[in-house]
Amino acid sequence: MLIASYNKETMGDILITMIRPDAEEAKIEQKGSVVRIADAKTNETTGFNFLNVSEIFEINGKGPITLTQEQVKQLNATLSANGFEAELVADERPKFVVGYVKSTKPHPDSDHLLITETEVDNGETLQIVSGSPNMTDNIKVVVAKVGAIMPDGMTIWPGELRGVESNGMISSGRELHLNNAPQKKGALILPDDFVVGEAFDFEKGNHIFD
């Protein structure tokens, strides 16, 4: 997994990358233009910050960045040149996709959570626990997959809800910051013209509530 973000206005010319969730206690190590963040207990890398990244390649835009295979190759070369292990792996798959809720069942330890089996891209089915009051079978939804960065900055990681594994999040229009979305809980149920498995088109999504 590889998550990347860049915002020159607020952070300077720094590319932030994450490959694991933040540890409870972090260890910071800098060599040259690279900062490694690791779990202080296990020494597993959680991410790297690349300082002056425009000296490696140009980045257009701000916020979440999808790095190409070539860009990841350049970052790994930079890691090696600075004495770090080249451990980044490119991940160009879309993180917000049109999903299809194939089935739901009650959570064994909750009276409001449901365990869904939700199809996403490439025919993959994910187990996602949802608390949406309008959750039901046979609906099209927006799935924020593991590795997605939500508009409010929250990163989606694998997790558990009351002891049940959940891999991703079925999102509401409010959580996606769509235009005119109802400011209340509830999954965004997509119209039929959205295609299961495709990347969610935010521009198209902004017209759902017109």
Vertex 161: Cα angle to 120 and 42 (nearest 5)? 95
Q: Which long-range contacts (CB under 8 A, 24 or more apart) does 110-116 make?
A: 110/161, 110/162, 113/161, 113/162, 113/164, 115/164, 116/170
In angstroms, rounded to a whole number, what is the distance separating the alpha carbons of residues 28 and 96?
A: 31
- Amino acid present at 44: E
Query: Which tokens hold the place of 45?
Result: 């890398």
Taking alpha carbons only, the member of 95, 89, 200 closest to residue 142 is: 200
What single-letter DSSP state applies at residue 41? T
Distance CA(154)–CA(96), nearest Å, equals 14
Give the pLDDT confidence score for residue 144 in this predicted structure.
96
Provide the pLDDT for residue 153: 84
pLDDT digits (tens, 9 = 90+) for 96-122: 999 999 999 999 999 899 999 999 988
Q: How far apart are the C-alpha atoms of 34 and 79, rounded to whole Å? A: 7
Please name which of 19, 13, 6 lies closest in space to residue 33, comparing C-alpha atoms: 13
Please give the full DSSP string across 71-89, using - where no structure is assigned.
Answer: HHHHHHHHHHHTT------
* Under 8 Å between Cβ of 1 and 87: no
Which pTM does this prediction carry? 0.82
pLDDT in tens, 131-155: 999 999 999 999 999 989 998 888 8
Residue 92 has pLDDT above 90, yes or no: no
Question: How many Cβ atoms are within 10 Å of 162's Cβ, its own excluded?
Answer: 11
pLDDT, tens digit, for every residue of 157-197? 998 888 999 999 999 999 999 999 998 889 999 999 999 99
